[in-house]
Amino acid sequence: MTEGVPKFTFVKPPNYTALLVDIRRAGKPVVIEGQSGTGKTTTIKMALAEIFPDAVPTLLTPREPTHLPIIQAIGLNSGNKTFVVDDFHRLDKDTKESLADLAKVIAERDNRETLPKLILIGINNIGADLIKLVPDVAKRIGIHRITPGTFELISEIISLGSKKLNIEIEKPELIFKESQGDYWLTQSICRAICIRYNVDKTKNDLIMVNWENTEIKKAVVSNLYHNYDSAVKEFCRGRRFRSTNDPYYKLLRAVSEQTESNVDLNEIANARPDIRGSINNVKDHRLKVLLEQKESCSRLFYYDSDTKNFAIEDPALFFYIKNLDWEALRQRCGFREGIKDFEWDIAISFAGENRAFASFITDQLKELDISVFYDRNYEDNYLGGLWSENFLNIFQNKSRLVVVILDEHHKSKVWPTFERDCFRSRISEGEVIPVFLDKTIFPGIPTDLVSIHFNFSGDVDAQRDKIIDDVVLRIAGKLDQC
């Protein structure tokens, strides 16, 4: 069975009794954490059914819009009801803090029998997150981590299902290896095996099922294709498709190579210098905006831009991307081969007198899903370092193109002159886009170089639409061709 609570194949995790005791204890706040697919929600449903056989509490989740007001209204005056909040990590910061504060207050009271019972469910480390929000809450709540199944537990699931069908599925150790102890995937793999070998009901005589791994993995991925392919492509192509705009693709492919579906993007960036630029390109801003604007992606992927925690909460999706033909996906997405890794699409050079102009261009390019190095946005990243060394690397190596806003100020000032020296060698390669605001001539920039000429009045607001049409969209158009 691959949906709902398993009727015949549920197995209790090793810490089930400890969890049951804490859930049964009146008023004591309980946190259940663990990676996707470890059976957190199923385990809680089974425990609640055991404790409340006549009226199982409703599981509340921020995924359901009608549940949000209920969750946000939970307070000391909610009575002694039991509130089970699933997907806790998906709540906004204020609601998380409110529930954490409430948990602390309840835990400290002597008369907890009259207060609400909180059961909070989420992915890895929500217990740690709660402690950060309210540091002295740790000793007063029950924190339980549901871990992936051991080989013994997974074997028990397979055995229970096999007994019901009067079959014996061989190589349970291989199912365990492929599922990584994930209960849902174990069920899915067994289902695919049964379908492939025509086991659709209980057999009269015992049947030995000897299955082939590659064949079954392909079957599972094929079954999941229509569920996930469209959203995976949407994610990989970003908010605005360009054949060279593949950092989301590289990010997701890197996640598919991890052992867990909940990852720290800073750690991946540090561990993978070959794609570090792409990860850094999207982790601060672009990824968050992508998930905000593409509902099909936000349903499947979770990202906390503060902690840089990226998670695939659906174990089936994680299995799907782990066994995906990534080269075939790259071609379906329309990305070119051998795309060089850059931390920024654009690095912008300007004199201080034109900061408002440069800032507006930066903001508009970001709206087009284009990453821009604009000094003030990254000052904290380079504290303690030398601007000269960092700028040399950024303008020479870390940006796909350089946009330089040229006028008499850029020519006469020391720092903009240094920046021109940094990217001068790229001019002949067609990787520098000059934006002339006056007729100043610059050594090293040919007068017949195809450039943008813009008559800037000094008032960005007054020329907003013209800047977008004549400057921003032309820069974006050049990127489309790179």
Q: What is the pLDDT along the chain (482 residues), one digit of tens a residue?
A: 455 556 677 888 888 899 999 999 888 889 888 766 667 888 888 899 899 888 888 889 998 999 999 999 999 999 889 999 988 888 888 898 888 888 888 888 877 788 899 999 886 555 556 656 555 666 678 888 887 788 999 999 999 999 999 999 999 999 998 888 888 889 889 999 999 999 999 999 999 999 999 999 999 999 899 989 999 999 999 988 888 889 999 999 999 999 888 899 999 999 999 999 899 889 988 999 999 889 889 888 989 988 999 998 777 889 999 999 999 999 999 998 878 888 899 999 999 999 999 999 999 998 888 989 988 765 555 445 556 778 888 999 999 999 999 999 999 998 899 889 999 999 999 999 999 999 999 988 888 889 999 999 999 999 999 999 999 999 999 988 77
What ranges do the domains of the chain cover? 16-145, 151-211, 224-333, 344-481
In the CATH scheme, what is the homologous superfamily, with its name and number, of domain 16-145? P-loop containing nucleotide triphosphate hydrolases (3.40.50.300)
Report the pLDDT value the prediction gives residue 123, as an integer from 0 to 100: 66
Per-residue pLDDT at 331: 93
- Kind and range of the H or E run holding 309: strand 309-312
What is d(CA 55, CA 130) in angstroms, rounded to the nearest whole number? 29
The overall longest dimension of the chain from CA atoms, in Å, is 91
CATH placement of domain 344-481: 3.40.50.10140
Per-residue confidence (pLDDT) for residue 382, from 0 to 100 = 47
Q: State whether residue 43 is helix, strand or coil.
A: helix
Measured CA to CA, the distance from residue 146 to residue 33 in angstroms comes to: 6
The closest alpha carbon to 16, from 108, 216, 193, 153, belongs to 153
Cβ atoms within 10 Å, residue 212: 11
The pLDDT value recorded for residue 101 is 84
**Count of H-run helices and E-run strands, the chain:** 22, 15
Query: Radius of gyration of the chain from Cα atoms?
Result: 28
CA 379 to chain centre: 25
| Whether the Cβ atoms of residue 245 and residue 333 lie closer than 8 Å to each other | no
Q: What is the structure's pLDDT at 129?
A: 62
Find the helix packing angle between 276-283 and 286-293, rounded to 10°: 60
pLDDT at residue 37, rounded to an integer = 60
Residue 190 CA to residue 167 CA, distance in Å, equals 11
Give me the residues paired with residue 118 across strands.
Answer: 83
User: Which 3 state secondary structure label does DSSP give 229?
Assistant: helix
CA distance 296 to 317: 13
Q: Is 316 helix (H, G, I), strand (E, B) or coil?
A: helix
Q: Within a 10 A sphere around the Cβ of 63, how many other Cβ atoms? A: 12
